[in-house]
């Protein structure tokens, strides 16, 4: 079993870990992991091709959420928060089993109903190193679940997993998540602040495509509505794409 640096329990049924831990069958069994959230830069088919065959029997495909996610300032993490939160919530809560479903199950497979189906799963959220992307996803989920601020949840997670450190751009998105009251839509429409964010994100990506990335630090002010581009000699984002 891996050390705390590879996989860390954050709360009941919720873990943060590394890619190595997520692909180690012994670790998966030791911690009772039944579902995973994977955040990697690789396209899903390339990732799936590297998985041990025995892992498929431990975690079925419908218990895996895969988001192709770069650990870069330009990645729109915010737009995935709802999907991540819904997935974690679905798998960490006790499944509802009605009498009708139980009766149908008994008719199809008499005497073979597995009571484990009624128990919540342990969910492992992982990226490459369990530092930035996985921490961002877990913080977003806990903020919504607990109705707590970014800073409060960050401090809680950090106290349990010392290497947890969301990229600064992801921190801005988490703070906006808080300002949006953990909901991107209202009455079926995108909230105004979310629309503004999407517009700014498009501008940011366009700027990076035009070659503004080198020697540039992109900041967002406290209103979350105005990007500031400061070019500083020698200041660049040097974190490897799969470093966290």
pLDDT at 190: 98
Evaluate whether residue 243 is within a structural domain.
Answer: no
**Residue 220's pLDDT band (cuts 50, 70, 90):** very low
Whether residues 115 and 95 fall in one domain? yes
Q: What value does the mean pLDDT take over residues 10-37?
A: 97
Q: What stretch of H or E contains 123?
A: strand 122-126
pLDDT digits (tens, 9 = 90+) for 58-85: 999 999 999 999 999 889 999 999 999 9
Whether residues 43 and 134 fall in one domain? yes
The set of residues, in sequence order, having a beta carbon less than 8 Å from that of 63 and lying 6+ positions away, is 34, 35, 36, 91, 121
Q: What value does the mean pLDDT take over residues 107-136?
A: 80
Q: What value does the mean pLDDT take over residues 41-56?
A: 92
Evaluate whether residue 174 is within a structural domain.
Answer: yes
Whether residues 46 and 82 fall in one domain? yes
Whether residues 205 and 157 fall in one domain? no
Q: Scan for tokens 């997520």, then name that residue.
A: 22
Q: What value does the mean pLDDT take over residues 7-19?
A: 98
Evaluate whether residue 241 is within a structural domain.
Answer: no
Report residue 17 as tokens: 């870990």
Q: Which has more pLDDT, 153 or 221? A: 153
Q: What value does the mean pLDDT take over residues 162-178?
A: 95
| Boundaries of domain holding 215 | 184-233
Q: Is the pLDDT of residue 205 over 70?
A: yes
Domain count, the chain: 2
pLDDT at 97: 53
Neighbours of 118 (CB within 10 A): 12
Whether residues 108 and 94 fall in one domain? yes
Whether residues 13 and 114 fall in one domain? yes
Identify the active-site residue in 25, 69, 127, 231: 127
Evaluate whether residue 242 is within a structural domain.
Answer: no
Is the distance from CB of 18 to CB of 163 less than 8 angstroms?
A: no
Question: Strand order of the sheet with strand 33-40?
Answer: 7-11, 14-17, 122-126, 33-40, 64-68
Task: Specify the pairing of strand 122-126 against strand 33-40.
Answer: parallel
pLDDT at 112: 56
* Alpha helices, H only, the chain: 19-22, 25-30, 44-49, 53-58, 81-92, 99-108, 133-146, 150-160, 168-179, 192-207
The set of residues, in sequence order, having a beta carbon less than 8 Å from that of 88 and lying 6+ positions away, is 14, 37, 123, 125, 141
pTM for the full model?
0.80
Whether residues 105 and 174 fall in one domain? yes
Q: Is the pLDDT of residue 91 over 80?
A: yes
Whether residues 47 and 155 fall in one domain? yes
Q: Is 127 a catalytic residue?
A: yes
Can you tell me the distance from the alpha carbon of 142 to that of 85, in angstroms, rounded to the nearest whole number? 8
Q: What value does the mean pLDDT take over residues 188-207?
A: 90
Q: Which has more pLDDT, 4 or 99? A: 4
Q: What value does the mean pLDDT take over residues 183-210?
A: 89
Evaluate whether residue 26 is within a structural domain.
Answer: yes
pLDDT at 58: 93
């Amino acid at each position: 079993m891996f050390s705390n640096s590879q996989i860390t329990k954050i709360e009941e049924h919720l873990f943060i870990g590394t890619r190595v831990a997520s692909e180690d069958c012994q670790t998966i069994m030791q911690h009772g992991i039944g579902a995973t959230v994977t955040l990697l830069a690789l396209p899903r088919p390339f990732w799936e091709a590297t998985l041990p065959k025995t892992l498929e029997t431990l975690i079925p495909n419908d218990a895996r959420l895969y988001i192709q996610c770069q650990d870069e300032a330009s990645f729109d993490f915010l737009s995935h928060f709802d999907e991540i939160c819904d997935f974690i919530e679905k798998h960490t809560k006790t499944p509802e089993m009605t009498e009708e479903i139980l009766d149908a199950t008994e008719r199809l497979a008499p005497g073979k109903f597995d009571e484990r189906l009624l128990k919540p799963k342990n969910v492992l959220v992982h990226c490459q190193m369990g530092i930035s992307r996985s921490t961002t996803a877990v913080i977003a989920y806990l903020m919504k679940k607990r109705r707590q601020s970014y800073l409060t949840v960050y401090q809680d997670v950090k106290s349990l997993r010392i290497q947890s450190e969301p990229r600064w751009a992801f921190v801005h998105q988490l703070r906006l998540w808080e300002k949006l009251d953990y909901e991107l839509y209202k009455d079926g429409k995108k909230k105004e602040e979310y629309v503004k964010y999407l517009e700014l994100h498009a501008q940011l990506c366009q700027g990076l495509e035009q070659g503004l990335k080198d020697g540039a630090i992109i900041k967002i002010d406290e209103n979350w509505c105005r990007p500031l581009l400061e070019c500083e000699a020698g200041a660049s984002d040097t974190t490897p794409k799969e470093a966290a």
